[in-house]
Amino acid sequence: MVAAGCRFFAGYPMTPFTEVLEEMAKKLPAVGGVCMNAESELEAVGMAWGAAATGTPAATGSTGQGLSLMQESLAEITLARLPLVVLNMARAQGDYWQATRGGGHGDYRHLVLAPVDVVEGVELVQRAFHLAATWRNPVLVFGDYYLAHTARSVEVAPLDLGPAPAKEWALTGDTGGSGRAKLVSFLGSVKQRDGAGYDLAVHYAACAEHTAKMLREVPPEAETGFIDDADVVVVAFGTPGAYVRSAVRSLRSEGMRVGWIRPITLVPFPSEVIAAAARNAKVVAVYENNAGQMLDDVRLSVLGDAPVAFIGGLSLDASGFGIAPDLQVSVLRRRILDVAERHR
């Protein structure tokens, strides 16, 4: 986060997000940044909103539950065209719809990146800040308990992502009295010279156009393996994606024609890769640690070209965090073999 340029962070403790807040409280002051232990998630996102409006690279986060509290602000921050990075250190994977559809009101989308491990997380957080600054739009990094609670030594090499656009919109306080004082508002940032109030129709249309352009131009990304000749294609994201990868590799070594796709960007969703793989496959299987949410996006990608089977399920972890016994390569192997058997 700090290497990615983050200089303002606000959060409210909640497992498994807490360690992020602890680390930011430790690391940000050392680089001249600010970390706020906010009094609620509502205030955490509000503080991040204020800092972002001054052009300061800002972030907030929580688990899905805390993000539910933040949704009103996250929706309006998007319509105010502010860059912000939001972390969801989720419990299991039940927040897929919240992350990709947005739990808030109105027409808006967030870009969503889902790292598989700490190494990829370091890269994606840097890209999240760059995407947020480039598109003036919140970017969500969707992790889980494993990602939040895994400590690994990684080389944090700053990525050269190119320059982000200048922040001429950022509030600095010094344009008052000039006749063109800056306005940052989710109701519209164009002042009405010939009347009073905002024109929401104009603003919302401009935001929708911007969102469509963003979703067109940001390339969807996925990690794939063995999909060229796969009869069974397994789709999974985040930490479960690593377990699926392992199960598929072991089945491949036994001669089974199976492949995997791991979406790295959940928004925009890598539909074309999945559609292409589905055209040659007998079945597309989806593994998620929930009751079947990304399943919808996979079905929309496949559009009937192949049957889509759900091989995931709700977390069996009594704590609700999505830990053991959810992820087991042997269980995944069995489910993939079952699906293959049913779609021979």
What is the binding site for another protein (CB under 8 A)? 7-8, 10, 34, 36, 38-40, 42-54, 56, 58, 72-73, 76, 80, 171-179, 181-188, 191-193, 195-198
Q: 50 vs 292, which CB is nearer to another protein?
A: 50
How far apart, in Å, do the first and last CA atoms of the chain sit?
47
Report, in Å, the least distance between residue 127 CB and another protein.
23
Q: 32 vs 158, which CB is nearer to another protein?
A: 32
Q: 16 vs 33, which CB is nearer to another protein?
A: 33
Alpha-carbon Rg for the chain, nearest whole angstrom, is 21
Q: 11 vs 259, which CB is nearer to another protein?
A: 11
Half-sphere exposure of residue 115: CA atoms within 13 angstroms, side-chain side:
24
Residue whose pair of structure tokens reads 């990608």 in the numeric block: 301
Q: 142 vs 186, which CB is nearer to another protein?
A: 186
Report, in Å, the least distance between residue 181 CB and another protein.
5
Report, in Å, the least distance between residue 226 CB and another protein.
47
Mode of pairing for the β-strands spanning 258-263 and 58-62: unpaired
Residue whose pair of structure tokens reads 């609620």 in the numeric block: 40
Report, in Å, the least distance between residue 172 CB and another protein.
7
Report, in Å, the least distance between residue 90 CB and another protein.
24
- Residue 138 is classified by DSSP as E
Q: 186 vs 260, which CB is nearer to another protein?
A: 186
Report, in Å, the least distance between residue 79 CB and another protein.
10
Distance CA 74, CA 102 (A): 8
Extract long-range pairs of 54-57: CB within 8 Å, 24+ residues apart.
Answer: 54/170, 54/171, 54/172, 55/167, 55/169, 55/170, 55/171, 55/172, 56/7, 56/8, 57/4, 57/5, 57/6, 57/7, 57/8, 57/83, 57/85, 57/129, 57/133
Distance CA 89, CA 238 (A): 11
